[in-house]
Amino acid sequence: MSLDVFLFFALAFTLVSSALGVVFSKKMMYCVIFLGALFGEVFAIFIFLQAEYLAVVQLLIYAGAVTVLFLFALMLTRGDPDES
């Protein structure tokens, strides 16, 4: 197996693991962290597939804006007092 194929499958495995982390995490903060990792891994796969424009758009729009917006909303809203 060549290095390219190995790297692609390693990225795909970590991407699926992060997606499962988003779905099955109990705390919202962990979900947002997994979501940021997921967006970063999609960025890496786009770079790997030589789609640089899509990678930059993915990084700026999703990983930058959406993840920061989720974190900002999560910190400003009152959470469940039992979660602490």
Residue predicted with more confidence, 56 or 66: 56
Lowest mean pLDDT among 24-28, 68-72, 75-79: 75-79
In a domain, 6, yes or no: no
Residue 41 burial class via C-beta count within 10 angstroms: exposed 0-12, middle 13-18, buried 19 and up: buried
d(CA 31, CA 84): 16
- The conformation of residue 60, written as its DSSP 8-state character, comes to I
| Number of other CB atoms surrounding residue 44 within 10 Å | 19
pLDDT at position 64 is 80
In a domain, 14, yes or no: no
State the total domains in the chain.
Answer: 1
In this predicted model, what pLDDT tens digit does every residue of 32-60 receive, in sequence order?
889 889 988 999 999 999 999 999 998 88
| Number of other CB atoms surrounding residue 78 within 10 Å | 5
In a domain, 33, yes or no: yes
In a domain, 57, yes or no: yes
Domain hosting residue 46, numbered range: 25-77
Query: Which pTM does this prediction carry?
Result: 0.78
pLDDT at position 82 is 61
